[in-house]
Chain A
Amino acid sequence: MWDDRATRRFFANKGASVGLVLVALLLLFAILGPLLSGHHPDHSDFEQGRDALGQLAGSSARHWLGVDHLMRDLLSRLAHGARVSLLVAFVATTISIGMGAIVGLIAGYAEGTRARSLDNALMRLVDVGLSFPYLLLVMAIGAAVGETTILTILLVLGLTSWFGTARVIRSKTIQVRSLDFIAASRALGQSTPLIILRHILPNVAGPLIVIASASVAQMIIAESVLSYLQVGLPPPTATWGRMLQEGQRMYTATPRLVVAPGVLIFLSVLGFNLVGEGLRDALDPHED
Chain B
Amino acid sequence: MIGYLLRRVGWSLFTIWAVVTLTFVIYNVLPEDPARVIAGPQARPADVARIRTQLGLDQPIGVRYVRYMSGLVSFGPPPADAKDDSAWALGPVRIDLGVSYLKRKPVVELLGRALPPTLLVGVLALFVQIAVGAFGGVLAAMRRHSVLDWGTVALTLVGISAPTFLTGLLLQHLLARQLVWFPLDGYGQTSAERLHSAVLPALTLGLFGAAYYTRLVRDEMIGLLKQDYIRTARAKGQREWVVVYKHALRNALMPLVTVVGLSMGGLVGGAIVTEKIFRWPGIGSLSVDAIVERDGPVIMGVVLLFSTVVVLANLLVDLSYAVLDPRVRRS
Contacts and interface: CB of A to CB of B under 8 A. Distances in A.
Direct contact of A and B (CB under 8 A): yes
Given A136-B302, A143-B291, 7 more contacts: A124-B14, A131-B16, A132-B307, A141-B26, A144-B30, A262-B169, A273-B161
B222 A131 contact: no
A274 B157 contact: yes
B72 interface: no
6 contacts: A131-B265, A131-B311, A132-B22, A135-B272, A229-B273, A266-B166
A244 B302 contact: no
B136 interface: no
Interface string A22-59: 00000000000000000000000000000000000000
A200 interface: no
Given A112-B331, A128-B18, A141-B30, A225 B314 contact: no
Contacts of A229: 272-273
A266 B161 CA distance: 6
A279 interface: no
Q: Chain A at the B interface: mostly helix, strand, loop or mixed?
A: helix
B158 interface: yes
Contact of A221 (B31, B163, B299): B163
A140 B291 contact: yes
B307 A144 contact: no
Interface residues of A, number: 38
Given A127-B15, A225-B163, A244-B165, A133 B307 contact: yes
A270 B153 contact: no
Nearest to A251: B169
Contacts of B120: none
Interface of B: 11, 14-16, 18-19, 22-23, 26-27, 30-32, 153-154, 157-158, 160-163, 165-166, 169, 219, 222-223, 265, 269, 272-273, 287-288, 291-292, 299, 302-303, 306-307, 310-311, 314, 331
B299 A140 contact: yes
Contact of B23 (A137, A139, A224, A225): A137
Nearest to B306: A133
A75 interface: no
A265 interface: yes
A217 B158 CA distance: 12
B166 A265 contact: yes
Contacts of B23: 137
A130 to B, nearest CB: 7
B163 A224 contact: yes
Contacts of B269: 133
Nearest to B270: A133
B157 A286 contact: no
A15 B157 contact: yes
A11 interface: no
Nearest to B277: A248
Given A124-B15, A144-B32, A265-B163, A15 B310 contact: no
Contact of A286 (B11, B32, B222, B265): B222
Contacts of A274: 157
Given A15-B157, A140-B27, A274-B157, A133 B303 contact: yes
A62 B141 CA distance: 51
A136 B287 contact: yes
Nearest to B271: A135
B278 to A, nearest CB: 14
Contacts of A124: 11, 14-15
Name, among A15, A111, A127, A286, the residue most crowded by chain B CB atoms within 10 Å (CB to CB): A127
B26 to A, nearest CB: 7
B160 A273 contact: yes
B331 A137 contact: no
Interface in A114-139: 124, 127-128, 130-133, 135-137, 139
B273 A131 contact: no
B161 A228 contact: no
Contacts of B292: 143
Contacts of B310: 130-131
A73 interface: no
A258 interface: yes
Contacts of A68: none
Interface string A183-200: 000000000000000000
A133 B287 CA distance: 11
Contacts of A224: 163
Contacts of B158: 270
Given A131-B307, A131-B310, A144-B30, A139 B166 contact: no
Interface in A242-268: 244, 248, 251, 258, 262, 265-266
Interface in A217-245: 217, 221, 224-225, 228-229, 244
A124 B163 CA distance: 30
A65 interface: no
B291 A128 contact: no
Interface in A137-196: 137, 139-141, 143-145
A269 interface: yes
Contact of B30 (A130, A140, A228): A140
Nearest to A123: B11
Contacts of B273: 225, 228-229
Contact of A136 (B154, B163, B303, B311): B303
